[in-house]
Structure 1
Amino acid sequence: MRLRHIEVFNAVMLTGSVTGAARLINVSQPAVSRLLQHAELQLGFVLFQRNKGRLSATSEALTLYPHIERLFAQLDEVQRLAGNLKRGESARELRVLTVLALSYEVLPQAIKLFRLKHPAVPLSVQALHSPQIVSALVLQEADVGFLFSPLVHPTLAQQPLAEGRMVCVAPKGMLSAALCQQGRATLADLAGFPVIGLDVSDPIGRSLSLACREAEVGLQFGITVQTYHSALALAHHGLGIAIVDSCTALSADRARVEVLTLDPLMAVPVKALFPVGRPGSVAVRAFVRCFEQALQAMM
């Protein structure tokens, strides 16, 4: 199928008729009919059944359509990237992305430090999941992103900033006084207690799952969450022990929970990501330094 065939096919799928497709892509109805017939001729099978002016997709068309949708999504990304490249340096706003865990305590402190030296630079801040941050940076919709163990991407460069670790956040009274006084716990110490599970698609969730297998410890994950602060909130309400990164643990209410170092060490690297081949501005470099200072001061 040629690109024009794909465009017509997509328009008919969206509107359900030749008339609607013609209006959508701004061509004549006969042109849509010809292109559709030519596409079917090249493919060697019928895409639509004609019935009283309406077109019904065949099983072959329905099989093709998800792939066509993905193609149009990629074309949209190309258009967005082209627009961002065209705007270039005209976008004076500093666009910062961060994972949710870094947005509660570290990010505000970094902004405070940044404002002392750059009070007039407009800031746009978003807290997103790691794959969303990577996608936005690839499309040059942001200047810098801060996240844990970022995914490797050929168009992105990364800068290590600090190394946190996994900690155990337990509701008051759930673990023994001796263990809490010691301030450290192993995975084996948590066996038999309700533990808030982390999504295994998350880097920290995968690290926790691997550590449990290596230690041959089976933890009771009665509840599984997608964000570290959700795990922390559940621990605050006594619903289980949260195993979270040390940045998230900064938000722990010590009157309601105990925070213990988790052994063995499960490192949580914090990194900054930038688009490759696009030198960071003075403001970007300054913000990264402030973020690094905030991390070091709090961790």
Structure 2
Amino acid sequence: MRLRQIEVFYAIMTTGSLRRAAELLHVSQPAASKVLRYAEQSLGFALFERAGGRLVPTREARIMLPHVNAIFEKLSDLKRLTDNLRYARDGHSISIGCVPSLGLSLVPRVVQRYRKDHPGMELTIDAMHGTEIVSRIMNHDLDLGIVFGDYTSDGLTALHLADIPLMLIDSKKGEGPVSVTDIDPERYIGLSENDPTARMLDMLLEEAGIPAKTHVRVRTHFMAAELVRLGGGCAIVDAVTALHHPGLSRPRPLFPPLSVTCTVLFRADHALSHISQDILALLRSELDVDLLALKE
């Protein structure tokens, strides 16, 4: 099948009628009907049966549909890629992916500072998990990724931004450093095993004789903080989340101190644009503000 034939087939499957498919493709109904007829002739079987003025997909058409969906997903990826390449060439755009915890405070502050000085620039920000960030960078869908932990991969460059302290947040107020051995396992809200801090914390808890299996596990530091705010227990989260999540009591440092690495990722075969370099400088500046606030 030619691409135009696939487009007509997909449009009919999506809209349910030849008329609406023609309108969607901005062609006349006879033209769409002609393309469909040629497609069926080249395939050697019917794609639709005519019943009461309607087009009913045949068994073969339904079998083909998932494969056609995949083709259009790839076409969407290609369009997004060409858009990114065009904007990147013009030097007026950057796309950033960040883990949700950093997307709720740190990254918005950086974006606001950058836009104040560069009002004509276009920024696209997405919050997602680290593995998806890596995948989208390698697919040319993101310029920068901001993650917790160390994501080493061929074709990927990782720049260390800062070591972010981990802190205990608890609905029952307390002050001063706290040891992991003092954490009540019945009230502890754990993080998903895929989180880089979770693996480290689970090992420490097991070494302290505290069962790593918790009653509640969540995928983001933000969700853990929100459960604590609602009185659901206690959790260990990164300091950026602990400082900026509304409604929490002052976070408590851990003893001995624990931290998680904050890293910026980008493709190894791409030099950092001037926009990316400016964003990195602002990220470091805002992280310094947060780390200084912990000492006050």
- Give the TM-score, by structure 1 length: 0.72
- Root-mean-square deviation (CA, aligned residues, Å) is 3.9
Partner amino acid, structure 2, of 1:121: H
Q: Is structure 2 residue 260 aligned with structure 1 residue 279?
A: no
Structure 1 residue matching 2:39: 3-state secondary structure: helix
- Aligned counterpart, 1:128: 127
- Aligned counterpart, 1:194: 187
Structure 2 residue matching 1:242: 3-state secondary structure: strand
Q: CA deviation at 1:72?
A: 0.6
- Aligned counterpart, 2:283: 291
Partner amino acid, structure 2, of 1:190: D
CA 49–204 in structure 1, closer or farther in 2 if over 3 Å, else same: farther
| Separation in structure 2 between the aligned mates of residue 263 and residue 64 of structure 1, nearest angstrom | 59
Within a 5 Å distance, the mapping from 1:227-246 to structure 2 comes to 227-246=220-239
- Aligned counterpart, 1:38: 42
Within a 5 Å distance, the mapping from 1:125-204 to structure 2 comes to 126-130=125-129, 133-134=133-134, 137=137, 143-149=143-149, 156-172=156-172, 182-186=177-181, 189-191=183-185, 193-200=186-193, 202-204=195-197
Which of 214, 218, 233 is residue 220 of structure 1 equivalent to? Answer: 214
Contact 1:232 1:242 (8 Å CA) reproduced: yes
| Separation in structure 2 between the aligned mates of residue 198 and residue 68 of structure 1, nearest angstrom | 38
| Separation in structure 2 between the aligned mates of residue 119 and residue 280 of structure 1, nearest angstrom | 21
Contact 1:172 1:257 (8 Å CA) reproduced: no
Q: CA deviation at 1:76?
A: 1.1
CA 200–54 in structure 1, closer or farther in 2 if over 3 Å, else same: farther
Partner amino acid, structure 2, of 1:38: S
CA 205–47 in structure 1, closer or farther in 2 if over 3 Å, else same: farther
Contact 2:95 2:124 (8 Å CA) reproduced: yes
Contact 1:167 1:244 (8 Å CA) reproduced: yes
| Separation in structure 2 between the aligned mates of residue 255 and residue 46 of structure 1, nearest angstrom | 63
CA 255–291 in structure 1, closer or farther in 2 if over 3 Å, else same: closer
Contact 2:8 2:35 (8 Å CA) reproduced: no
Of all paired residues, the percent bearing the same amino acid is: 28
| Separation in structure 1 between the aligned mates of residue 37 and residue 271 of structure 2, nearest angstrom | 49
Mean CA deviation greater in 96-105 or 282-291: 96-105
Unmatched segments (≥5 aa) in structure 1: none
Q: CA deviation at 1:296?
A: 4.9
Partner amino acid, structure 2, of 1:81: L
CA 17–211 in structure 1, closer or farther in 2 if over 3 Å, else same: farther
Contact 1:106 1:291 (8 Å CA) reproduced: yes
Q: Is structure 2 residue 17 aligned with structure 1 residue 17?
A: yes
Contact 1:18 1:33 (8 Å CA) reproduced: no
Q: CA deviation at 1:184?
A: 1.7
CA 31–61 in structure 1, closer or farther in 2 if over 3 Å, else same: closer
| Separation in structure 1 between the aligned mates of residue 152 and residue 63 of structure 2, nearest angstrom | 32
**1:79-116, Cα deviation, whole Å (9 max, x unpaired):** 1211332344424255544333224554466569x76x
Contact 2:97 2:142 (8 Å CA) reproduced: yes
CA 259–63 in structure 1, closer or farther in 2 if over 3 Å, else same: farther
Mean CA deviation greater in 50-59 or 69-78: 50-59
Partner amino acid, structure 2, of 1:220: T
| Separation in structure 2 between the aligned mates of residue 48 and residue 108 of structure 1, nearest angstrom | 50
- Aligned counterpart, 2:244: 251
Q: Is structure 2 residue 254 aligned with structure 1 residue 261?
A: yes
How many residues are aligned here? 283
Unmatched segments (≥5 aa) in structure 2: 292-296
Partner amino acid, structure 2, of 1:185: V
